[in-house]
Chains A and B, each alone.
Chain A
């Protein structure tokens, strides 16, 4: 069965420092991987996705993610964090047997301090 693990419930980083939010996955076949962000009282917003091609994917708001097939990871990164990046981040993998179904991780709360 497809699964996603986000090993950190919370990540704390100072503004201006680089940030990494970790995600590992388990899926049969080619993985389609996504990152979403949830701000308070808002729905999930799409950040970026990996379908095929370059292992470094660039997305919205300066975020990027690195796909590593050998480590089955898809970590989210940003070179310089902003206080406004504080939010809940979800990694998801498309279930290849479930049409467009997404399997989500449990989420990682990112706190960026001034």
Chain B
């Protein structure tokens, strides 16, 4: 089954404790992206990657890091989480070639930073 998986699905942590949210897709997509969803703000892009070793900032990259060492994986790293990073996070992927491909989304990771 074609899918995007994220782990963990739920995470409660404390300020300053480094964490990683994993994302993996099995569709051989070149493009992967991280979004955060906050009430009243919709989804905002954090980082994206167009292929292995190619990453770039989205609209809200502060406080986050990413890496793309393998095509299928795109982890999101919070090196020193703060309460304002409490949010619902989604990973997404799509083909890069051509126009108009829809993005496939993972199930989401709900993060609470206390």
The chain A residues found within 8 Å of chain B, CB to CB, are: 4, 32, 34, 36, 41-46, 49, 51, 90, 92, 94, 98-102, 104-107
Contacts and interface: CB of A to CB of B under 8 A. Distances in A.
A99 B100 contact: no
A94 B93 CA distance: 14
A104 B36 CA distance: 11
A45 B100 contact: no
Contact of B42 (A46, A98, A104): A104
Contact of B108 (A4, A34, A43, A90): A43
Nearest to A99: B50
B42 A100 contact: no
Contacts of B106: 43
Nearest to B101: A100
A51 B107 contact: no
B50 A44 contact: no
A6 to B, nearest CB: 8
A99 B96 contact: yes
Contact of A107 (B42, B92, B108): B42
Contacts of A46: 102-104
Contacts of A43: 4, 90, 105-108
A52 B27 CA distance: 25
Nearest to A30: B99
Contacts of A105: 42
A101 B50 CA distance: 11
A100 B90 contact: no
B43 A90 contact: yes
Given A46-B104, A100-B101, 13 more contacts: A32-B99, A43-B105, A46-B102, A46-B103, A51-B100, A98-B48, A100-B48, A100-B94, A102-B43, A102-B103, A104-B43, A106-B41, A107-B42
